Structure 1
Amino acid sequence: MTQQDVGVDEIAAAAEHGRICALAADCQRDLQKCAARYPDLFAAAPFDPRFFSTVSLANAFGSPWLPADRLRIANRASLWVSGADWMVDYLATSREEIQAIVRGCLAVADGAPADTPLAQFLADLRDDLRDDPGSAPAFGVLEPVWREELERYLSAEAREWDWKAASARPDADEYLENSDNYGTSLVNVWHWIFTSSPGSLAHLDELRAASRKVGHVLRLLNDLASAERDREWGDINILTLGLSRADVTARIAALMKECRTLIGPLKDVCHQEAVYLERQLGFSTGFYGITDYWGEL
């Protein structure tokens, strides 16, 4: 590209990208401070500076119209999901440990005191939603939905642990239906409770359905990007379940069409939340074409 090819539109586009990256930098500072409060949960590896940067970029590009302070639940929920995933996938060695993680987190959601760093982080997230002047009214009504997303996530994490422990391989459809363990819908719903208007939240059921389908796409994009890492770490990956890369790419294309069908009508009634889902798809398509989030062990 020559200098003459760089026009005003390119300058404006780059300026917007730069603004979003600056927003992500502010988010990253908050996220690293947050992680520092739970040192036993977030070890330096694989939670390296690159991890915090990429999580912050993903959420900044998803909702670039919000200030960093209003992105904190999306960022911190993403961090909590990663901490839970690390404990379940790589630290737990028995079904009893998995059951203790699930029970402990659900007990905290029901008002019990926290007895682990993961549960304490969850309690702090809940209290932030409950006490923030902007989100408190919505959380007061939607706390059961908040808890339901938490339970869906934890159940899906435990289910995948069981598959691995038994050296079982689900079929591709069963694996994809367990995509709640990726955490997309949990993060999205908690983010919307924190940032959205009551009018938008009136369509939360439709948003959740679209979000869950988006989670299927992100699950597959992640699997294509992390196939080698999953092999080294012993994780289940869609490519180990009888599908080729071409098969998975075709499945992603079909799911993208389903996502558009679900998201399209929502633009008329909750435009910002619908655009957020589209941007989540677009960012993840580009991001996972090159790398993934985790640092090295």
Structure 2
Amino acid sequence: MTGPGTTGPGMTGAGPAGLGAAAELGRTSALAVECARRLAAHAAEHPDLFPAKPFDAGFFQSLGLVGAFGSPWASAGRLWAVNRAALWVFALDLQVDYVAKTRDEVAALAEECLAVAGGAAPRGPLAADLAALRDDLGGDPRWRDQLERVLIAMLQEWDWRESSATPALEEYLANADSCGSSFVNLSHWLYTGDTWTLDHLDVVREASDEVQHYLRLLNDLSTYDREARWGDANALTLGAGRDEVTRRMARHARTAAGLIAPIHATSPRTAVYLERQIGFNTGFYGVSDYWGEL
């Protein structure tokens, strides 16, 4: 049902100034709600992987928002891979950082996940969830390689924790794959990418890695208090100063912009998606965090 000054679904026409922009925000927000509902329903089917704490209602809404605002032109179905990949990374993070008690447990989990990414049958619930995503994406070997980067980086954080090491910022950022951002992006492109993007994944992955560096530091600045309580690796807890981190973020933002700019000419949606990873998360982390409380 429409109200004064509005048009019905799919209709166009004259209206108050700003109606078009507001309508677009409304559509994207509705897309986010639909994505969140699908994610919450999936999580409800796997309560061992997604317990209510920290996977609360706000978590699914947040994940739905970042997917929808990153690709507002898409349908919820087309965003299923990027949303599922992001959800899986959070489940992995919980298993590695809070459920596993020893490095050997983490190494065994990593070994199983890599085997499953290469086509093996899963044994545990985390690997089973990964297998479903693998099947949706077609088992591309670059996807397995990207996952391996994530798992190696998470194991490195375990080594730092156990040795009480304090790596310099450069070494810490070289391990930024632990946050999984580039893995999520690659999953998205393998599922929805246009021909140019799929033919030039080396180009877009380079830009994605630069965005990932920025997001790693943005997360560290914005969630320092929580990560200090939870014992997560964080640039600040490892000794970097806020001014140093802020300067480094600006450097990565500039480099990312330079890498993304030429992509606009050949795959504008891929370029906009990467830009929105920086823009959306900068605004989001200024107010909230993805995780709920444990």
CA positional deviation for 1:234: 1.1
What is the alpha-carbon distance in structure 1 between the residues aligned to residue 189 and residue 221 of structure 2?
28
Q: Tell which deviates more after alignment, 237-246 or 91-100.
A: 237-246
Residue number in structure 1 paired with 2:37: 29
Residue number in structure 2 paired with 1:17: 25
Indicate whether 1:263 and 2:260 are aligned: yes
What is the alpha-carbon distance in structure 2 between the residues aligned to residue 195 and residue 259 of structure 1?
22
> Where do 1:39-118 residues align within 5 Å?
39-118=47-126
CA positional deviation for 1:9: 5.1
Specify the code of the residue in structure 2 equivalent to 1:251.
R
Deviation readout 1:154-205 (Å, 9 max, x if unpaired): 1111111211122211111111111111111000001001001222211110
**Alpha carbons 2:214, 2:249 under 8 Å: kept:** yes
Specify the code of the residue in structure 2 equivalent to 1:153.
V
> Where do 1:237-248 residues align within 5 Å?
237-248=234-245
CA positional deviation for 1:244: 2.2
> Where do 1:197-212 residues align within 5 Å?
197-212=194-209
> Where do 1:276-295 residues align within 5 Å?
276-295=273-292
What is the alpha-carbon distance in structure 2 between the residues aligned to residue 9 and residue 90 of structure 1?
50
Structure 1: gaps spanning 5 or more residues? 1-6, 131-138
**Alpha carbons 1:203, 1:270 under 8 Å: kept:** no
CA positional deviation for 1:37: 2.3
Structure 1 residues 219 and 8, CA gap change in structure 2 (3 angstroms): farther
Specify the code of the residue in structure 2 equivalent to 1:71.
L
Match of 1:193 among 190, 199, 218: 190
Deviation readout 1:126-150 (Å, 9 max, x if unpaired): 11223xxxxxxxx6xxx11111111
> Where do 1:144-163 residues align within 5 Å?
144-163=141-160
Specify the code of the residue in structure 2 equivalent to 1:17.
L
Match of 1:122 among 122, 125, 130: 130
Q: Percent identity?
A: 52
Q: Tell which deviates more after alignment, 7-16 or 178-187.
A: 7-16
Residue number in structure 1 paired with 2:167: 170
Higher fraction of helix: 1
Deviation readout 1:53-99 (Å, 9 max, x if unpaired): 10110010000010010000000000000000011011111111011
**Alpha carbons 1:105, 1:119 under 8 Å: kept:** yes
Structure 2: gaps spanning 5 or more residues? 1-14
**Alpha carbons 2:197, 2:204 under 8 Å: kept:** no
Aligned length in residues: 280
CA positional deviation for 1:8: 4.9
What is the alpha-carbon distance in structure 2 between the residues aligned to residue 185 and residue 204 of structure 1?
12
**Alpha carbons 1:157, 1:181 under 8 Å: kept:** yes
Q: Could you state the TM-score of these two structures normalised by the residue count of structure 2?
A: 0.92
* CA RMSD of superposed structures (Å): 1.4
